[in-house]
Amino acid sequence: GLGGVFVEVLRDVSFRVVPITEKDAEEMLVEIKARKILEGYRHIKPRDKKAIINIILGVSKIMEENPEISELDLNPIMVFPEGQGAKIADVRIIVKKQELHH
């Protein structure tokens, strides 16, 4: 979704259980209200949906390969016009608490 306060106010989110396929990622983009902005709206050029899909697939792979991660937050993700990619500005990773054995 749009992220930030929009997630809280508009509840513009989509979820999947990993592993996520390319089809899953495409469906996630269709499910969100912000899809109209991604497709281009008024003066806003269409955004690079392929770049978003690649990020979603990358997150899926990271989560699959690292079961010790309990949370992964990418915020914000700046998505540029079609063909120009996307940039992740900040990443927060929460690792599951491990028990110490004596």
Confidence grade of residue 7 (pLDDT, cut at 50, 70, 90)? low
* Domain annotation covers residue 52: yes
Q: Check if the beta carbon of residue 48 is closer than 8 Å to that of residue 85.
A: yes
The total number of structural domains in the chain stands at 1
pLDDT one-digit tens code per residue, 30-64: 999 889 989 999 999 999 999 999 999 999 999 99
Q: pLDDT over 90 for what percent of the chain?
A: 73
* Domain annotation covers residue 40: yes
Nearest 10 degrees: CA dihedral of 83, 84, 89, 91? 30
Report which of 17, 87, 19 is spatially closest to residue 52, judged by C-alpha positions: 87
32 by DSSP, 3-state: which? Answer: coil
* Domain annotation covers residue 78: yes
* Domain annotation covers residue 27: yes
* Domain annotation covers residue 102: no
Give the CATH number for residue 43. 3.30.470.20
* Domain annotation covers residue 90: yes
Owning domain of residue 75: 5-95
CA-to-CA dists, residue 69 to 13, 22, 72, 78, 90, angstroms: 21, 22, 7, 23, 17
* Domain annotation covers residue 101: no
> What pLDDT does 8 receive?
61
* Domain annotation covers residue 59: yes
Residue 19 CB contacts under 8 Å (≥ 6 apart), including other chains: 60, 61, 64
